[in-house]
Amino acid sequence: MTTTRSVGILATRSVRTIRRLPSAFFPALAMPIFNMVVFAGTFFAVTKIPNFPTDRSINWYMPLGIMMGAAFGGVGLGFTTIRDIETGFYDRLRMSPTSRLSLIIGPLTGTLIRILMMTTLVIVIGIALGARFTGGVLGVLCLYASALGIATMGAGWGLGLAFKFKDMRGAAIMQLSIFLVMFLSSAQVPLDVMTGWLHTVARVNPATNILRLARVGLVNESNADYLSWNAVWGGLVAVVVMSALSLGFALRNLQKLSD
């Protein structure tokens, strides 16, 4: 009960800053929309590639915009935690007898609420710009699951780095690692059309499976990646395993803060 209340109040604190400091939340909303619009507009010809999974570029890039927004939104928790560490506020949290897990799950919950808001907004704008969910409600749910999953991974990673470095040195690693993970995957084109080392890296990159999960409800019904257990299980496993690993990394480094 105490842990649940702690999670709730820490999540509330996180969400409250949207209203108190909207200038900090605005870029987190604008960037995914910008990415979606720019990628879909610039690379519209990508759909001409033989056997491309969809004939609408917005269907391909809307999930990418959301995934990037969710990943960066997740590591953003690392940034705010660094600020809390530097101002001493995090000491106040650590000195309280609440469980260490709630110090992670509480702010994470707040972050996921922000990601839900961002995902919903991008989907609405994407649909207005021509995106179509061929997979219906299930497809929408897969997109949300992917967004929340990659945000959780990012948050765990960001928190772990924040606890490890305790200052802005961790911030550069957070950003760089998210860029690498996102772009060394099937972010721009399907795995089938990639070659050489990039194909090898993308194939083992868990982000590829998560992006595949995000897109299963947006590709053509005739495509192999269309909603099927075969198409989603890899993404679900990647979300669960990577989230568990990143949150474990965060918890371990939180416990080591007093070392």
Partner 1 sequence: MNNTSNTAPIVAENLSRHFGDVKAVDGINLTVNQGEIFGFLGPNGAGKSTVVRILTTLLGPTGGTARVAGFDVVKQADQVRRNIGVALQEAAIDPLMSGYELLELQAVLYGIAANKMKQRANELLERVGLTAAADRRVSTYSGGMRRRLDLALSLIHQPAVLFLDEPTTGLDPMSRLTLWEEVRRLNREGTTVMLTTQYLEEADQLADRIAIIDHGHIVREGKPSDLKRSVGDPTLLINVSREQNDQAKVVLAAFGDMRPTAEGTLGVGLKGGAERVAEVVRALDEAKILVEHLELNQPSLDDVFADATGYRLEGADSAPQVD
Question: 94 or 132, CB closer to partner 1?
Answer: 94
Among 9, 49, 176, 180, binds partner 1 (CB under 8 A): 9
Question: Interface residues for partner 1 in 18-57 (CB under 8 A)?
Answer: 20-21
Question: 13 or 164, CB closer to partner 1?
Answer: 13
Q: Give least dist CB 55 to partner 1, A.
A: 46
Structure tokens at 162: 């924040």
User: What's the first-to-final CA gap in the chain, in angstroms?
Assistant: 29
Q: Give least dist CB 219 to partner 1, A.
A: 42
Query: d(Cα 160, Cα 156) in Å, to the nearest integer?
Result: 6
Query: d(Cα 186, Cα 86) in Å, to the nearest integer?
Result: 37
- 13, 50, 106, 184 from 72: Cα distances, Å: 20, 32, 18, 16
For partner 1, how many residues bind (rule: CB under 8 A)?
25
Question: Interface residues for partner 1 in 54-93 (CB under 8 A)?
Answer: 84, 87-89, 91-93
Question: 9 or 141, CB closer to partner 1?
Answer: 9
Sole residue written with tokens 């395993």: 241
> Rounded to 5 degrees, what are φ and ψ at 50?
-55, 135
Question: 98 or 185, CB closer to partner 1?
Answer: 98
The sign one gets for the Cα dihedral 98, 104, 105, 106 is positive
Structure tokens at 181: 């993970």
Among 54, 57, 98, 186, binds partner 1 (CB under 8 A): 98
Question: 6 or 186, CB closer to partner 1?
Answer: 6
**Contact residues: partner 1, CB under 8 A:** 2, 5-6, 8-10, 13, 16-17, 20-21, 84, 87-89, 91-98, 258-259
